[in-house]
Structure 1
Amino acid sequence: MNAVLVYVSGVFHLFYQHNPHADMPGNLSWGHATSPDLIHWTEHPVALPARESHVIYSGSVVTDGHNTSGLKSGEQPPLVALYTGHTDRHPARQHLDKQHHEAQYLAYSADGGHTWQYGGETAVLDLDKADFRDPKVFWDGQRSRWVMLVVHPDERQVEFYSSPNLQVWKPLSTFGPAGQVEGIWEMPEFFALPDPQGVDRWVLKVDFNPGGLYGGSGAQYWVGDFDGTTFTPLTSSQTLDFGPDFYAALSWSDLPGRRVWLAWMNNWAYAAMIPTAPWRGTFTVPRELSLGPELQLIQRPVKELEALREASVPILPPQDQKMYPLSVTHAHELRLQVETHGGAELHLEFLSAEGVEAQVTLSASEVSVTRPDAHLEVPGFGGTHRAPRRDGQPQYDMHLLLDLGSLELFGCNGQISLTDLLLPAAPIETLRISAHTGASVISGQLYQLRSIWERK
């Protein structure tokens, strides 16, 4: 499920909602993994186990470099986690229709994130609400204080708070309802990025369920200004990813010089039915973020992934169609420069012994991914997922990552992204590229990728 990310002394930490005892929601805790390079990951013991009084929902981890919390007990600055504690049946709500309760709690680590202590049974922010969750915390250096966003799901609102010490919080402002309000809101994210003129703008992202483009869950964002109290959008709500399986994206806290995030690759419409074992659910590849000329969010796979490239073959311009063999045990990366005019289309079909397992169509007006209905019972899984092009250019790039059970596509220099889980009836073993009505490949390269579990 969704991740909580922090960068500490050259190490990427990934905490994630996790049931240590089953592959279904329940007993929610924070699992823990670390990486030196965003590629190779080491699993660690559960960081925050479910408590007797509440389970552990999403939140944030930050480095308290100034020890504002007073929780430092060694040479290292403390890591502080702010998380939502969820209680199914709260004694004070037994007379209400909604008997569950959510509030924001604190935990901390004195050894760089490997062992944790809870900050007592008392919440640091409690509005006595059933649904009030997913704190996003960051240090506002200009004003020397902490800022936290927490979502009010049913009201479709994000509320801003400030604190001098991560433990006492006062309200600042509220954003919403706005944009997509069909479903409840969850998982806010908020950070600054420079626009093409070098002016810092703020990106506010929020997820929703239902109301996604293809049913189930989805995500939207705004770009605007933040004066330390209020977020003022300069854009309307924009779609974050045009595939069905990109949810709960969060970025690494305290990562200097760049903004990188990843998301839960799943959809609430069928998350509990994905027929995988012994795990259920996965994350996208990490993505580097920037802002485009129209204040759109640009997403590109991080450069670190290039270290996994092994064998490669050039993709030649197809006069009709060409076939390229794929390894059934490896992931692949495909880079293309294509040209499409008018109604021209370039089709990429990913084939198994059972037939077409996914098709990508590139045209002058859109990029699309089509996946068949799952061979196992996963209602709503099949369909075509479309991303409109806004650049209007006949030539553009496409960057595709194909794993054994997923497809992540980035187009038009990262202006377009589509994220799709795949449930192939048999392993994908062939790529077929065919041109229609004058579409063409200008240049391209197909890479086989080494497994992240293999070390050089």
Structure 2
Amino acid sequence: MLLQNPFKTLRPALCAAAAVVVALSAGCTGPKPATPDAPPAVSSAAPSAQDPWRPAVHLTAERNWINDPNGLVYENGTYHAFYQHNPHGNFWGNMSWGHSTSTDLIHWTQQPVAMEASEAEEIFSGAIVLDKENASGLGTAGNPPMVALYTSAYGKGGARPAGVQAQSLAYSLDHGKTWQKYKGNPVLDLAPSNNNFRDPKVTWYEPGGYWVMTTVVADAQVVKLFKSTDLLHWDHLSDFSGVGAQGGLWEVPELLQMDVAGGNGLKKWVMLLSINPGGIAGGSGMQYFVGDFDGRTFTAENAAKPGAPLTDSQWLDYGADYYAANSISGAPGGKPVLLGWMGNWDYAQDVPTTPWRGAMAVPRELELLRDGGRYALRSGIAAAASGALGEAAGGEVRRRNLTVDGGAEPLGGDFTARSQLLDVELEPGEAAETGLVLRSSADGSSGLRVSYERATGTLKVDRSRAGTGNFSRLFSPYHQAKVPLRDGKLRLRILLDSSSVEVFTPDSTVAITDTFFPAWDDTETLAFSRGGAAEVRVSSAAP
């Protein structure tokens, strides 16, 4: 977890590579000592040679495990991120709701655990809405409540038999600091009860004047929709199933209404849906569907059929490490702002980080486009986050324009930070392949390659020689997607952090998010081409 503005605490003695395109490196102190069972506390945890993979500009916990974000809400200038968290260990278990806050989506302050697991009940994923009209009656007109809907995973002595999952409610009257569980929990259960009924997400349906909740029966690949006028009593609307990738559990669904860019007021509905395993990059992934919602039933258009090649489905991200993303309720700006877990269940519990494990991807905003014969989502860094990254760079812009012919060339000392925000333009020309090597060793033998193959029209992120990877045989080596050139060029926006890369294509609907674990001393950035000359232009143009 980023617990302070890292750009205000740079320590030159340890961060010699701070003169960069976008100087995102954090201060280089390690986390404060704490006992394994101590609750999270504000500290100055930041990347260091002793903690080389701690993110500088991504949310994580100071210590211990985190996974899916949940309860994402914006209120009075503050973003609240709750998330699955183990307060007592660096592994999945004791599922509780951790809590962090931010005013700009980049600099996060960790708060005390919001709701902690017990022997009777673990607190699985869910959502928070502001009950502004106090429809639930849990607050007052002058002090309306924050209402959390979450999955109760029952254990010994719980309100349901051990193993059952049902939806429960908690509320806060002090802006998310403390939470009270509703005495009538669970507020929603199936008959008969089910062990995989989870992940409530709530949105307001204006035409009907009610809330709509999406949930899943995960192992049956079914999204179940419910409605409520008071957040306490829920009626079944419909089920959504029978389309898309079905090679694993369906999780963390969300139904969003979005404007179509350039559509003259046309609106469509989008269903976001995580799947594990069975993602496009192996293991965990996020697919989506675009269609219509009439207040009762969501109907997808041009959806892939079950059993079709994974490339027929629509994917929010083509990398291995983007999962369980959902939108921030009430976020300003008019576009959905998502926060996703930067992990993959294939290897998440094996990654070699300590005393923390797990991080969130950079908050991104979505735009819905008409893309060929169907609608598609384009992702980019959220405006608030992009602005914070630009401010952190101090307004300084560094540029390099290179012609690379069949080799590799260092970009120089301005591009040697462990964390950078890069705007890149590749013009392959006659080259078979061209791109960048990030976090390269001095001799170029290791590094993360972001490249474009001209003959196949493929954008590729290759982490096969990008540091430690032997912790799991399922840590897949590379990920790719088809991206067309525009006027013979490919524009990329790349956010590199201590142990992750997020690649966005401003002119297409492809994003690739991957974690990797480079050596602390590997800080070079190289431009390269293979099979001919290519033009590579790199800058840190202000967002």
Aligned to 1:345: 433
1:88 CA drift (Å): 4.2
- Which of 326, 342, 356 matches 1:279? 356
1:177 CA drift (Å): 2.7
The structure-2 alpha-carbon separation of the partners of 1:146 and 1:215, relative to structure 1 and needing over 3 Å to count, comes to: same
1:393 CA drift (Å): 5.0
Distance in 2 (CA, whole Å) between partners of 1:262 and 1:192 is 17
Higher relative contact order (CA 8 A, sep 6+): 2
1:424 CA drift (Å): 1.4
Distance in 2 (CA, whole Å) between partners of 1:252 and 1:273 is 29
Residue type at the aligned position of 1:263: G
- Which of 182, 196, 203 matches 1:131? 196
How does the TM-score come out when normalised to structure 1?
0.91
Distance in 2 (CA, whole Å) between partners of 1:148 and 1:63 is 14
- Is 2:134–2:140's contact at 8 Å kept on the other side of the alignment? no
Report Cα offsets for 1:260-284 as digits up to 9, x if no partner: 1121001000010011011100011
Distance in 2 (CA, whole Å) between partners of 1:284 and 1:92 is 35
- Which of 233, 241, 250 matches 1:176? 241
Identity %: 39
Map residues 240-389 of structure 1 onto 2, 5 A cutoff.
240-256=316-332, 257-294=334-371, 295-302=375-382, 303-304=386-387, 305-310=389-394, 311-320=396-405, 321-324=408-411, 325=413, 330-341=418-429, 344-350=432-438, 351-352=440-441, 355-364=445-454, 365-372=457-464, 374-389=468-483
1:239 CA drift (Å): 1.5
- Is 1:326–1:429's contact at 8 Å kept on the other side of the alignment? no
Residue type at the aligned position of 1:357: G
Residue type at the aligned position of 1:222: F
Residue type at the aligned position of 2:297: T
Secondary structure at 1:317's aligned position in 2? strand
- Is 1:145–1:164's contact at 8 Å kept on the other side of the alignment? yes
- Is 2:343–2:515's contact at 8 Å kept on the other side of the alignment? yes
Report Cα offsets for 1:232-264 as digits up to 9, x if no partner: 112323012110000000110112323111210
Once the two structures are overlaid, the 10-residue window that deviates more, 304-313 or 355-364, is: 304-313
- Is 1:404–1:427's contact at 8 Å kept on the other side of the alignment? no
Residue type at the aligned position of 1:356: S
1:214 CA drift (Å): 3.5
- Is 2:168–2:185's contact at 8 Å kept on the other side of the alignment? yes
Distance in 2 (CA, whole Å) between partners of 1:210 and 1:24 is 19
The structure-2 alpha-carbon separation of the partners of 1:431 and 1:118, relative to structure 1 and needing over 3 Å to count, comes to: same
Secondary structure at 2:219's aligned position in 1? coil
- Is 1:309–1:447's contact at 8 Å kept on the other side of the alignment? no
The structure-2 alpha-carbon separation of the partners of 1:204 and 1:425, relative to structure 1 and needing over 3 Å to count, comes to: same
Aligned to 1:452: none
1:301 CA drift (Å): 0.9
Distance in 2 (CA, whole Å) between partners of 1:434 and 1:397 is 16
- Is 1:61–1:137's contact at 8 Å kept on the other side of the alignment? yes
Aligned to 1:56: 123
Name the count of aligned residue pairs. Answer: 445
Residue type at the aligned position of 2:247: E
How does the TM-score come out when normalised to structure 2?
0.77
Distance in 1 (CA, whole Å) between partners of 2:118 and 2:132 is 28
Task: Could you tell me which runs of 5 or more consecutive residues in structure 2 were left unpaired when the two chains were aligned.
Answer: 1-66, 304-312
Secondary structure at 2:186's aligned position in 1? coil
The structure-2 alpha-carbon separation of the partners of 1:361 and 1:227, relative to structure 1 and needing over 3 Å to count, comes to: same
- Is 1:156–1:178's contact at 8 Å kept on the other side of the alignment? no
Answer 1 or 2: which has greater strand percent: 1
- Is 1:151–1:157's contact at 8 Å kept on the other side of the alignment? yes
